[in-house]
Structure 1
Amino acid sequence: MTNTDNATASEPAQVDYKYAWYASGVLMLAYTFSFLDRQILNLMVGPIRADLNISDFQFALLAGAAFGIFYTIMGLPLGWAADRFKRKWIITAGVTVWSLMTMLCGFARNFPQLFAARIGVGVGEAALSPSAYSMLSDYFDKSRLPRAMSIYTTGIFVGAGIALILGGAVVSAVQTHPDITLPLIGQMKSWHMVFVIVGLPGLLLALLMSTLKEPERRDRTVEDKDIKLGAVFSYMRRFPMMSVSLMLGAALYSVTTYSDTWYPELFIRTWDWSPAQSGMVNGISSLVGGPIGLIFAGWYSGHLLKRGVNDACLRLTAYGALAITIPATLMPLMPSSWMMAGLLFPTKLFSALTPVLIPSAIQLVAPNQIRGQMGAIFLFTVGILGVSLGPILPATLTDFIFHDDNALRYSLSITTAILGPLTFVTLWMGLKEYRAAFAEAEARRAGQEVAS
């Protein structure tokens, strides 16, 4: 075999980076739609509470637990599937399911019905990230992977921003057009129609997703039939401190970031803003601050990796935990609405670090045959703690400790002030083991290149 043949055989995923970047853009579009469908209800707290006669805590269950728990539970078997089957078809099926379930939210007439539909959204969205992480790790090499992850995760903030801006405009229109009459269906509230309109385009996205080329799996060390379900846990037991940092540390970080469910309502309750005003300010901060944070995280971590800072992804996440604590703790307590709005930007910027850095950190050290499952466990812990508890913790303090809806600002501030330092310590304590796991992964890759 010639040297040229050797290079070609060892780098199959690098043949066409143009297509790889295109694929990462399509996956980003899917992530955008997932967050649009997931977070569209965050600016509709008032209308949904009024129409369904529910409390802050019950709304938090819709925003967090109904979605988050089933999102995480289904992520584990879907991560297992991502290590064995064609990932583009797993994602295509997931996009179809969550789009249909989002539309079904528009037909809910009571709390249990909306709760059940939100479970369906979570189940569908669980198919996306484990397979997307695995595909991206096969499309790109280690120095490009963080940048590809940053493109993919831009969808979080683009989707959330669009949801806030669109939701605010529609909710503000409820007073003038509270009901819409449709043939065969009858009267629907405006918030019902939002779900239907947002869910429909996802079906076209599913068609686009089905056209992606499945990347060749890289760094395989065993055959598919030899993959054991417990292999991922055996790997994590070998690096326990690293695993705690990657999974629990990221989950604690996400509790702070997902408490932003209440940010739109915070401006409405504290400063008597309209939903349109609050949606516009929160949406713009998400559309601007989030992508800047993502691009920075992807670029700078890639730069550090090229310089040999092998723990760059985990180290930067730990620094981010300290950085986000300051604006996220102070923001709800600001004495004016525009000072509060100004601190939204750094809060959104630092909240963007975890979705890029932790999945990249996992993909850089985990053997190929367990990458999907490792990604699914990451999503499991983030979902159980972050997606579920992020909305619930502030609501619990507001409803059961302060007994005052207007105390939401204090609930949000207390939540972040406690969790920020705890998150930093949890992330930092795994750095040493992460460096050891990275060295092992480098040796594994080098060995396979020689064998090729």
Structure 2
Amino acid sequence: MNSDAPRPSPRAIASLLVLSCIVGLNTVDRNMLGLLLPQIQQEIHISDMMLGVLMGPAFMIVYSVCSLPIAWLADRTSRRGIIVCGLTFWSLVTAATGFAQNLVQLLAARIGLGMGEASNMAPASALIGDTFGGRYRVLAMAVFAAGGPVAIMICYPIIGRITAEQGWRAAYAFMGLAGLGVATLTLLIVRESRVDPAHGKAGTPVATQAASGIWRATRQVAGTPGFALLCLASVMVSVNFGAMLAWLPSFMVRLRGLDTATTGALLGTYKGLVGVAGSIAGGLIVTGLMRFDQRWLAWAPMLFCLGIIPAELMLLFADAPSWWHIGLAADTLLMSAITPCLFALLLSLLDSGLRATGVALYLLIFNLVGQSIGPLAVGMINDQLSAAWGTAALRSSLLIAPLSAAAGAALLLALAARLDTSQAAPG
């Protein structure tokens, strides 16, 4: 670890907080469909399999494919400009989703949302990686990742209340307007600042010269030691994350007997408050452990994956409310702690001039495979089992989540064994 990294400036910290708000909107806008499913199904009749398509492949394929060229552009132009344009576009699409009248229009809205949100994660992660160095980078990624849980904590109860009083269409309009406001804030506050001397200085760095074309840059990233194994591990984490995030609201309604407003408040509290605690605590713990061995950046998420397995089994199968509440809290805490570890590890493996492209390629694999498979697989299995098992079919369908967590833990252990301390040291 580079202990000589400069202390972040107030402007850098302010920019980080705004970027955290943006990733929060990104998280809520893509996942609020799962919260609003019961109301949408009452008005637009859609099978569980097609809902899985809407929540998974319809969004993720477009999101993942578009992320790579956008990120390549972000490595060569203004990352802030791309983030602002993308946020503006997807906020307009979010507002327009409230006007959908049928499955085709919902599908078009999900595709448009995927195109817009592709502009965020890779450029924002690269901007943070350039601005924050050494030990500050893990903490910065933890704050960035905390934006998702914070936004869920704030927005899900509001969305649930708006839906109960004015319908699901008004909830989409509200989130669209909120996104346009944050886009304006981004223009006023966020600045690009690079602590890496190899990026943005006089003369062209080796990494940037080598990455003059998008396919050459992609090949360079794919050949980075440890990158492929990290992607495989992350796919398993993504299957778990996608399945639970997409279908947990329906699970609460169908099997726990909660209404949409109550579900929104419950998940807002757990996924928000507990999620923030998990993200920040995970960043702090791993930052401390990395003083002894850099491989804790892989060992820690491996242990978190192992802890997710009993937590999700408790959430799905416990009858007593106190026990499944504990399972929900533990699952949220551990999953939130994994995210900053994986992104900090990824950034530590990549050269500065390839960071946005590398994050985009990582997200292409993470989302296209993982978060497409998760929601779709649960929907397909549930359609097959529901005739015989009724609403209880969803509980068995969601077992794909703890199984994928177990596979992710095994792959992260293998990755840690292949890393050396110099390779895993973020600089």
The aligned amino acid for 1:331 is: L
The aligned amino acid for 2:417 is: K
Per the alignment, do residues 386 and 158 of structure 1 end up closer, same or farther by CA in structure 2, a change over 3 Å counting?
Answer: farther
Q: CA deviation at 1:382?
A: 1.7
What SS class does the counterpart of residue 420 from structure 2 fall into?
A: helix
Per the alignment, do residues 384 and 235 of structure 1 end up closer, same or farther by CA in structure 2, a change over 3 Å counting?
Answer: closer
Do 2:308 and 2:402's aligned partners in 1 also have CA atoms closer than 8 Å? no
Per the alignment, do residues 97 and 421 of structure 1 end up closer, same or farther by CA in structure 2, a change over 3 Å counting?
Answer: same
Q: Equivalences for 1:105-144 in 2 at 5 Å? A: 105-144=97-136
Deviations 1:102-124 (A, max 9, x none): 01101111111111111111111
1:45 corresponds in structure 2 to 37
Larger Rg: 1
Do 2:208 and 2:354's aligned partners in 1 also have CA atoms closer than 8 Å? no
1:194 corresponds in structure 2 to 171
Do 1:70 and 1:123's aligned partners in 2 also have CA atoms closer than 8 Å? yes
1:407 and 2:393 matched: yes
Q: CA deviation at 1:333?
A: 0.9
Which of 332, 340, 354 is the matching residue for 2:316?
A: 332
Give the distance between the partners of 2:207 and 2:264, measured in 1 at CA: 50
2:191 corresponds in structure 1 to 213
Which of 305, 309, 325 is the matching residue for 1:321?
A: 305
Give the distance between the partners of 1:346 and 1:282, measured in 2 at CA: 13
Q: CA deviation at 1:310?
A: 1.3
1:262 corresponds in structure 2 to 247
Deviations 1:244-279 (A, max 9, x none): 331121121121122222112212111322212222
Give the distance between the partners of 2:364 and 2:280, measured in 1 at CA: 25
1:309 and 2:309 matched: no
Do 1:43 and 1:171's aligned partners in 2 also have CA atoms closer than 8 Å? no
What SS class does the counterpart of residue 435 from structure 1 fall into?
A: coil
Give the unaligned 5+ runs of structure 1: 1-9, 178-189, 446-452
Per the alignment, do residues 163 and 394 of structure 1 end up closer, same or farther by CA in structure 2, a change over 3 Å counting?
Answer: farther
Deviations 1:336-376 (A, max 9, x none): 34432231111101111332111101111211111111111
Q: CA deviation at 1:285?
A: 0.5
Q: CA deviation at 1:284?
A: 0.6
- Count of aligned residue pairs for this structure pair: 414
Give the unaligned 5+ runs of structure 2: 200-204
2:370 corresponds in structure 1 to 386
1:158 and 2:146 matched: no
1:367 and 2:359 matched: no
2:237 corresponds in structure 1 to 253
Give the distance between the partners of 1:245 and 1:329, measured in 2 at CA: 27
1:19 corresponds in structure 2 to 11
Q: CA deviation at 1:316?
A: 1.0
Give the distance between the partners of 1:244 and 1:330, measured in 2 at CA: 32
Do 2:21 and 2:147's aligned partners in 1 also have CA atoms closer than 8 Å? yes
Q: Give the percent of matched residue pairs that are identical in Structure 1 and Structure 2.
A: 25
- RMSD over aligned CA atoms reads 2.2
Deviations 1:35-86 (A, max 9, x none): 2211222221111112111011111222222221111111111121121111
Q: Does 427-436 or 283-292 show the bigger shift?
A: 427-436
What SS class does the counterpart of residue 20 from structure 2 fall into?
A: helix
Per the alignment, do residues 210 and 60 of structure 1 end up closer, same or farther by CA in structure 2, a change over 3 Å counting?
Answer: same
Deviations 1:387-412 (A, max 9, x none): 22222222221112443333111211
Do 1:244 and 1:430's aligned partners in 2 also have CA atoms closer than 8 Å? no
Q: Which has the higher contact order (CA 8 A, sep 6+)?
A: 2
Give the distance between the partners of 1:372 and 1:238, measured in 2 at CA: 14
The aligned amino acid for 1:213 is: R
1:94 and 2:86 matched: yes
What SS class does the counterpart of residue 22 from structure 1 fall into?
A: helix
2:202 corresponds in structure 1 to none
Per the alignment, do residues 238 and 99 of structure 1 end up closer, same or farther by CA in structure 2, a change over 3 Å counting?
Answer: closer
Which of 117, 134, 146 is the matching residue for 2:138?
A: 146
Give the 4+ runs in structure 1 shifted more than 4 A. Answer: 223-226
The aligned amino acid for 1:102 is: T
2:328 corresponds in structure 1 to 344
Q: CA deviation at 1:295?
A: 0.6
2:61 corresponds in structure 1 to 69
Do 2:221 and 2:358's aligned partners in 1 also have CA atoms closer than 8 Å? no
Per the alignment, do residues 235 and 114 of structure 1 end up closer, same or farther by CA in structure 2, a change over 3 Å counting?
Answer: closer
The aligned amino acid for 2:302 is: A
Q: CA deviation at 1:147?
A: 0.5
Give the distance between the partners of 1:216 and 1:423, measured in 2 at CA: 33
TM-score, normalised to structure 2, is 0.91
